[in-house]
Structure 1
Amino acid sequence: MSVSLWSEETSEVLRGPGVCRKRVVEGLLQLEEKYLPSPLYITLIQRDPDTREALAKWTLEVCREHRCAESVFLLAVSLLDRYLSTSLSLPVSPTCLTAACILIASKLIGNKAVSPGYLSKAANSNFLPGHLLDMESIVLATLRWDVATVTASDFLPHFLSALSENEDGQRTGHTEGFLSSVRSLSDTLVALCVCDAHLLGTPPSLVAAAALSSACRALGNKAPEMDTITTLLAGLCQTEKVVVQYYSELIDSISTERLRSREKQVWDLDGDKQDEEVKDDRAGTPTDLREIQF
């Protein structure tokens, strides 16, 4: 009896890149469930989100100042959530814990790791570099050195690839410029999602799909085309189209609220400056008419 060395899978792979993409995404979907935080941790954080949101925003600031890849920020916050989900308590220095997560993520992904000294200065020397290295060891031990967490940045390239070409490898009508703009806006929306406690515990695949859908809609895609994109993303995530639509609209709502909040802060600052100018003008008004220059 002759034995064939021709694998049955090979014929499927040769059908087109869409099959390979689907296999990779399926593998990521199986892995992402392993790294989701516990329901108890999610409940506790959503009751009091301020500290966690502040730490996530500080992580984003440090990563952007150091020009880290977007994936470094996402991995750092994921490590932070996983550690807190396991311990359910903050250490004496929450900033030191956050810096340790940034250090680990930059070593694992980045071309150049963020130095302990840089992180100490970024935290206004709230901890020493030696203490940061000790905290790094604690985080690694708590997570049992399993730090290769699946994040939304792992899904985005595959989702974008699905938008740029079909399963047969043929190019779609989307231009390179459009896809580049979609990726940039998607990265921004994903970062917004990671910092917001309302979306804590949402699978990274769903965050990536919803952010991508929201970005496409923001860049002017029409309703019929958006329906096709949402259906495609839902299929890749192995979920219903309405789920992707729900989270996409939630992202729109969160981003709109953040913009309003920022505009209000700017308006309040401008108002304070005007009040100070009025006070200064009143204080400097000469009481002697001879001092007035007409």
Structure 2
Amino acid sequence: MKYCGSEENQRLERLLRDNLAREMRLWRAPILKGGCIQGSDIAPSLYQEMVIWLREMSEMFKFGSETFALGVCVLNRLLATVKAQSKYLKCMAITSLILAAKINEEDEVIASVKDLLAQSGCNFSTAEILRMERIILDKLHWDLYTATPVDFVYIVSNS
């Protein structure tokens, strides 16, 4: 669909089209099959609990809404890529949020991984989080950033 209009509208259309093409290339949503996320033993209710917990952690760490949204997107892309076990879901979730913070937040805002783990009450070691970071980066081919609903709202509101 070609929209003829001002230069600004054409720029917005090009930006949205480019983001959509990138999202179509990168995005794969977790699929429910047999009451669980396909390829895992993760029930939708457990996944929902984890997203709510991520929101709480994001607020506790004073991360922006963009970081929370990207953390959920990273987690979703990972769940669509790997055969995950529910016992690793919390580790995958907190690591996704930490990676999103490394992309979106200022360095001064992000505490050390050790401090983040202590604040969150997670029983993971720093080494486990770093190992999970490497797994996520490997599985997502080091391309963590995808457009989020927050990005869409920002693009539309600033046009």
Q: Which residue number in structure 1 is paired with residue 146 of structure 2?
A: 149
Contact preservation (8 Å) 2:57, 2:120:
no
Per-residue CA shift, 1:28-62, capped at 9, x if unaligned? 11112223325xx3223965311111111111111
- Asked whether 1:42 is paired with 2:31, we answer yes
Contact preservation (8 Å) 2:55, 2:68:
yes
- Asked whether 1:65 is paired with 2:54, we answer no
SS in 2 for 1:94: helix
The amino acid across from 1:82 in the alignment is R
Q: What percentage of residue pairs aligned between the two structures are identical? A: 22
Distance in 2 (CA, whole Å) between partners of 1:114 and 1:152 is 26
Q: Which residue number in structure 2 is paired with residue 104 of structure 1?
A: 99
- Asked whether 1:86 is paired with 2:77, we answer no
Distance in 2 (CA, whole Å) between partners of 1:18 and 1:45 is 45
Within 5 Å, which residues of 2 pair with 1:267-282?
none
Change (3 A) 1:146 1:101: same
Distance in 2 (CA, whole Å) between partners of 1:109 and 1:125 is 22
Q: Which residue number in structure 1 is paired with residue 129 of structure 2?
A: 132
Change (3 A) 1:46 1:91: closer
- Asked whether 1:55 is paired with 2:50, we answer yes
- Asked whether 1:16 is paired with 2:7, we answer yes
The amino acid across from 1:42 in the alignment is I
Change (3 A) 1:119 1:108: same
Structure 2 stretches of 5 or more lacking a match? Answer: 37-42
Distance in 1 (CA, whole Å) between partners of 2:97 and 2:84 is 19
Contact preservation (8 Å) 1:97, 1:135:
yes
The amino acid across from 2:121 in the alignment is N
The amino acid across from 1:129 in the alignment is T
Distance in 2 (CA, whole Å) between partners of 1:53 and 1:123 is 18
Per-residue CA shift, 1:167-219, capped at 9, x if unaligned? xxxxxxxxxxxxxxxxxxxxxxxxxxxxxxxxxxxxxxxxxxxxxxxxxxxxx
Distance in 2 (CA, whole Å) between partners of 1:158 and 1:149 is 14
Per-residue CA shift, 1:235-289, capped at 9, x if unaligned? xxxxxxxxxxxxxxxxxxxxxxxxxxxxxxxxxxxxxxxxxxxxxxxxxxxxxxx
Q: Which residue number in structure 2 is paired with residue 120 of structure 1?
A: 117
As a proportion of its length, which structure holds more helix?
Answer: 1
Bigger Rg, which one: 1
Superposition TM-score, scaled by structure 2 size: 0.81
The amino acid across from 2:119 in the alignment is A
Q: Which has the higher contact order (CA 8 A, sep 6+)?
A: 2
For the aligned residue pairs, the C-alpha RMSD in angstroms reads 2.3
